[in-house]
Amino acid sequence: MVNNLIIGANGLIGRAIGNEFKGDFIGTCYNRSENRLVRMDITNHAEVKKIINKNQPKICYFCANLSGGVNRCEKEPELAKKYHYDSVINIAELCNRTNAKIVFLSSDYVFDGKKEYPYKENDKKNPLNIYGKLKSEAEEWIVKNIKKYLIIRTTNVYGWDPKTVTPNFIMNLYKQIKIRKKFKAQTYLFGNPIYVRDLAKAIIELCKTDRNGIYHIVGDHFINRYEWADSACRVLGLDRKYLEKDNKILADHEIRPQQISLDNAKIKNECSISFSSIESGLTKMKNEMNRLKNGKS
């Protein structure tokens, strides 16, 4: 029996959760094998059952993701359903049977972004794309059928993850500008970025205090991608002449809520966590990059 099972332990969020446990967890990977991780395919339900039944975790963190994000879900809806709905239901049911808690990572894309004020946890949902619809349906199924759960809605998560195949926005910016390539950042896409370690700490505090339910875990600051990228250039020492404003809404951005803010008052009221400002989160990311460059974990 183990305390923590992290599914997707070599992804951005899964790795950050694992780092907080300092090795005291069982973690899974899929395409990129890692010595201390067990290989598992979430779409292979028999394999998942075997691993959950063998380890009998008390808490299972569902941090797997389909690479390619929103656009891939639109292009491959059947595969998207396997990842973002069928696998979630399978794992949640297995957790229920073994009296484990499931921590499900959901998204701000369950909303349409039309509300003028930040969305609260119980606001009406209206997803605009397949990814958001699947997250929303998986949430509803969990709320209806599962005893112990946390549904964490988050967005614009960033951090330094050098081995990733799905770089986050700030990593993309860093990689492009480092090789002196122009980077276009949208002035019309707004959100509340969160530093991945803040997200991991908040999730773990919710688990330690045995909370149940839906929580919005996002940073305090509501900014557009261009402003965010501009701060990142300053903090990470990147040449701002390669950063350009993108004011024209791309076709694949039409299916995304453009200006969506989540209200994080509930988590802040119930937990001791405080969230890094944009500047301080980026500074922590920079320190992390330096630590890893110097061979420390």
For the record, the structure tokens of 184 come out as 């276009």
Contacts of residue 79, defined as CB under 8 A and 6 or more positions apart, other chains included, come to 66, 72
Nearer to ligand NAP, 70 or 100 (CB): 70
> In this chain, which of 4, 90, 107, 264 binds ligand NAP, going by CB under 6 A?
107
What minimum distance in Å lies between the beta carbon of 216 and ligand NAP? 11
Buried b (16+ CB within 10 A) or exposed e, 270-288: ebebebbebeebbebbbeb
Nearer to ligand NAP, 272 or 297 (CB): 297
Nearer to ligand NAP, 31 or 269 (CB): 31
Interaction between residue 105 and ligand NAP (CB under 6 A)? yes
What minimum distance in Å lies between the beta carbon of 148 and ligand NAP? 19
- How far apart are alpha carbons 238 and 224 in whole angstroms? 19
What minimum distance in Å lies between the beta carbon of 62 and ligand NAP? 7
Helix (H, G, I), strand (E, B) or coil at 294: coil
Alpha helices in 45-119 (DSSP H): 45-55, 69-75, 77-81, 87-97
Which of these ranges, 7-15, 110-118, 177-185, 204-212, lies near ligand NAP under the rule CB under 6 A? Answer: 7-15
> Which residue type is seen at 148?
K
Write out the binding residues for ligand NAP, residues 26-65 only, by CB under 6 A.
Answer: 29-32, 40-43, 63-65
E-only strand ranges, the chain:
4-7, 26-29, 38-39, 59-62, 101-107, 149-154, 157-158, 183-186, 190-191, 194-195, 213-216, 223-224, 243-246
Q: First-to-last CA distance in the chain?
A: 27
Interaction between residue 11 and ligand NAP (CB under 6 A)? yes
Nearer to ligand NAP, 69 or 120 (CB): 69
Which of these ranges, 141-149, 156-164, 179-187, 276-284, lies near ligand NAP under the rule CB under 6 A? Answer: 156-164
> In this chain, which of 19, 98, 166, 172 binds ligand NAP, going by CB under 6 A?
166
> In this chain, which of 4, 8, 229, 264 binds ligand NAP, going by CB under 6 A?
8
| Cβ contact 149:129 at 8 Å | no
The residue number whose beta carbon is nearest to ligand NAP equals 11
For the record, the structure tokens of 198 come out as 């803040």
> In this chain, which of 14, 18, 132, 281 binds ligand NAP, going by CB under 6 A?
14
Q: What does DSSP assign to residue 114?
A: -
- How far apart are alpha carbons 275 and 107 in whole angstroms? 18
Which contiguous run of DSSP H or E holds residue 268?
helix 265-270
> In this chain, which of 4, 129, 136, 155 binds ligand NAP, going by CB under 6 A?
155
Interaction between residue 136 and ligand NAP (CB under 6 A)? no
Which of these ranges, 18-26, 154-162, 202-210, 241-249, lies near ligand NAP under the rule CB under 6 A? Answer: 154-162
What minimum distance in Å lies between the beta carbon of 197 and ligand NAP? 13
Handedness of CA 277, 117, 186, 135 (dihedral sign): positive
Which of these ranges, 149-157, 209-217, 227-235, 260-268, lies near ligand NAP under the rule CB under 6 A? Answer: 149-157
Kindly list the residues in this chain that would bind ligand NAP in the complex (CB under 6 A): 8, 10-14, 29-32, 40-43, 63-65, 67, 105, 107, 154-157, 164, 166
